[in-house]
Amino acid sequence: MTGNPYQDDRGNKDATIANPKGGSDMTPAMGTGKEMNTTDAFLVGDSMTGGYGKDGPDILHDCTIAVNPGEIAVIVGPNGAGKSTGMKAVFGMLNLRQGSVRLDGEDITSLSPQDRVAKGMGFVPQTNNIFTSMTVEENLEMGAFIRKDDFLDTMEQVYGLFPILKDKRNQPAGELSGGQRQQVAVGRALMTQPKVLMLDEPTAGVSPIVMDELFDRIIEVSRTGIPILMVEQNARQALEIADKGYVLVQGRNAFTGTGKDLLADEEVRKSFLGG
């Protein structure tokens, strides 16, 4: 039983009355009441502490991540370290107990995810990051949902970035390969023309060749001036292109530095990069 009686379904799994698919269990951010201000950057998640649900255990402990325009910041760390949780926290999909999130100097800690999208943030989650029942083009359209202006140019740009998507524009996205899906996911996030892009393991389940290509695309995006905050499993490769690297361990900042510094660091290499 959870604490909230309205969420107690008594283990019922009767799909003729309750739709198990596509629902949401996130708790939108409502501000922390404990502001923190330790660093300054374009986008900062500052000293964040918190976990899932009303009274779940803390997953993040005083964790800080930040990124500046023109930069690629990479978060690495073992499975379950809290990387995805950190990203969600920055995007307002988690109710933090302590810390602040600031975008371009403005405190956005209490904004809901939708409002953060409106402020110019784009996010590609690690899982369920496309609308599987909708076509590729509709996925991109949904990405541009908040835009009132003509977004066909942006769509052409995305197709330019990921030509395969143009061929598959009328196919349901759920019928694409893993790598193609990731491209749709990134494309969807780019459609808002975000001021900052957050990617959670964009190369998950992608072959090495496609991965290299995706990294190239990401660098390309970053060259246009969009700051990119990204979680990566392929730590070595990611740190090579990173301007800034964060190593998270059990929800804490274990190491922070430039990508090169971290790659050179003896301890980081031993424990996280396999020697």
Ligand X SMILES: Nc1ncnc2c1ncn2[C@@H]1O[C@H](COP(=O)(O)OP(=O)(O)OP(=O)(O)O)[C@@H](O)[C@H]1O
- CA neighbor of 72 nearest in space, from 199, 236, 214: 199
- Measured in degrees and rounded to the nearest 5, phi and psi for residue 156 equal -60, -40
Q: At closest approach, how far in Å is the CB of 93 from other proteins? A: 8
Q: At closest approach, how far in Å is the CB of 241 from other proteins? A: 25
From CA 123, how far away is CA 91, in angstroms rounded? 8
Judged by CB under 5 A, does residue 234 bind Mg ion?
no
Judged by CB under 8 A, does residue 145 bind other proteins?
yes
Q: How far is CA 35 from CA 82, 117, 186, 204, 221, in A?
A: 21, 22, 31, 34, 32
Q: At closest approach, how far in Å is the CB of 78 from other proteins? A: 22
From CA 117, how far away is CA 247, in angstroms rounded? 26
Task: Scan residues 101-130 and list those touching Mg ion (CB under 5 A).
Answer: 126
| 244 contacts: CB under 8 Å, gap ≥ 6 | 66, 67, 71, 72, 73, 74, 256, 257, 258, 259
| Binding span for ligand X by CB under 6 A among 63-71, 81-89, 109-117, 142-150 | 81-89
- With 0-12 / 13-18 / 19 or more C-beta atoms within 10 angstroms meaning exposed / middle / buried, residue 63 is buried
From 84, 98, 135, 154, residue interacting with Mg ion (rule: CB under 5 A): 84
- CA neighbor of 232 nearest in space, from 126, 109, 108: 126
**Residue 126 vs 271, nearer CB to Mg ion:** 126
Judged by CB under 6 A, does residue 82 bind ligand X?
yes
Strands 60-67 and 228-231: unpaired
Q: Angle at CA 242, nearest 5°, toward 240 and 246?
A: 110
From 48, 73, 76, 81, residue interacting with ligand X (rule: CB under 6 A): 81
Judged by CB under 8 A, does residue 142 bind other proteins?
yes
**Residue 144 vs 186, nearer CB to ligand X:** 186
**Residue 11 vs 274, nearer CB to other proteins:** 11
From CA 239, how far away is CA 257, in angstroms rounded? 10
**Residue 106 vs 266, nearer CB to other proteins:** 106
80 binds, among ligand X, other proteins, Mg ion, none (CB under 5 to 8 A by kind): ligand X
From 41, 108, 130, 235, residue interacting with other proteins (rule: CB under 8 A): 130
Q: At closest approach, how far in Å is the CB of 125 from other proteins? A: 7
Interface residues with Mg ion (CB under 5 A) are 84, 126
